[in-house]
């Protein structure tokens, strides 16, 4: 049967813009396009950024974040939403109010704290707001190990600690947790752990040697949101998204002089 435009699932990203095109809103929209879903966006902050780092951040006023969110959610049937860089405590509160006001479901939270270069993308005082206000509305949260440490105090040094991290993150209120173990050293595999309070599901892929990894977190969480919008359950959405990000990293692009972007369209 031919697909009509009204069959296209609408997906929303609420995140920061990356002028370099590898992460943030730009990565999210490219990922949505590759997944045959219709991407919409609420831009929370602009970054002046390239493959060498973040050179400036300009936050969007909270009332204009609300205006964007209300415009999209009042008109379109948003099937899944992902959040990325939210910059400040005030903006986290604003976004969560919007998610609640519109009853948005399939909420994928990438608790972005810093860029790959270590540039701050979340004010330190906003961490508590992410933990206390945003995580309880998450269908799934997708922290890397640095974000786990910041949010829970749990330090993961090996694959054996991933379950401790999953339990600590789950206690903060999301329905599902996906701990990304890809930053663990000396592993032949990149092992992630998915947990809903009962099921611990290991998702492992061969580790890619590419160092062009800018946008990995954004791309993975967007792929999960796209898969949820198409009707997959959370374990399937995460597994299929992991295969997609593994390919995108393996085909990492040598663009720019620094950390190149993953290839969304591999």
State the catalytic residues. Answer: 180, 213, 215-218
- Interface residue with ligand PLP among 41, 129, 152, 216 (CB under 6 A) is 216
Judged by beta carbon, residue 47 or residue 152, the one nearer ligand PLP is 47
- To ligand PLP, the closest distance from the beta carbon of 144 in angstroms equals 7
Contacts of ligand PLP in 115-144 (CB under 6 A): 115-116, 121
> Nearer Cβ to ligand PLP, position 30 or 214?
214
x/- map, 232-261, ligand PLP, by CB under 6 A = ------------------------------
Task: Mark residues 17-46: x for contact with ligand PLP by CB under 6 A, - for none.
Answer: -x----xx----------------------
Angle at 247 between CA 241 and CA 253, to 5 degrees: 125
14 CA to centre of own chain: 10
Among residues 115 and 208, whose Cβ is nearest to ligand PLP? 115
Q: Which stretch binds ligand PLP (CB under 6 A): 95-103, 158-166, 215-223, 224-232?
A: 215-223
In the complex with ligand PLP, the residue whose CB is nearer, 196 or 256, is 256
Between residue 64 and residue 103, which ones bind ligand PLP under the rule CB under 6 A? 84-85
Binding site for ligand PLP (CB under 6 A): 15-16, 18, 23-24, 47, 49, 84-85, 112, 115-116, 121, 214-218
């Amino acid at each position: 049967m031919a697909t009509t435009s009204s069959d296209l699932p609408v997906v929303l990203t609420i995140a920061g813009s990356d002028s370099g095109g590898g992460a943030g809103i730009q990565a999210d929209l490219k990922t949505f396009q590759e997944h045959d879903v219709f991407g919409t966006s609420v831009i929370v902050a602009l970054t002046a950024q390239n493959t060498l780092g973040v050179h400036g951040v300009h936050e969007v006023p909270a009332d204009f974040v609300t205006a964007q969110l209300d415009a999209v959610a009042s008109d379109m049937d948003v099937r899944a939403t992902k959040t990325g860089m939210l910059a400040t405590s005030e903006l986290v509160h604003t976004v969560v109010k919007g998610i609640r006001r519109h009853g948005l479901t399939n909420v994928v939270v990438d608790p972005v704290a810093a860029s790959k270069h270590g540039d701050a993308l979340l004010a330190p005082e906003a961490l508590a707001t992410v933990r206390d206000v945003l995580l309880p509305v998450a269908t799934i949260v997708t922290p890397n190990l640095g974000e786990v440490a910041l949010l829970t105090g749990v330090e993961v040094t090996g694959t054996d600690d991933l379950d401790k991290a999953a339990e600590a993150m789950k206690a903060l209120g999301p329905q599902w947790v996906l701990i990304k173990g890809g930053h663990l050293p000396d592993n032949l595999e990149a092992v992630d752990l998915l947990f809903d309070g009962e099921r611990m599901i290991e998702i492992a892929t061969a580790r890619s040697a590419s160092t062009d990894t800018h946008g990995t977190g954004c791309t993975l969480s967007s792929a999960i949101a796209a898969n949820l919008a198409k009707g997959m359950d959370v374990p399937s959405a995460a597994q299929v998204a992991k295969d997609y990000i593994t390919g995108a990293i393996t085909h990492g692009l040598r663009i720019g002089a620094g950390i190149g972007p993953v290839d969304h369209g591999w």
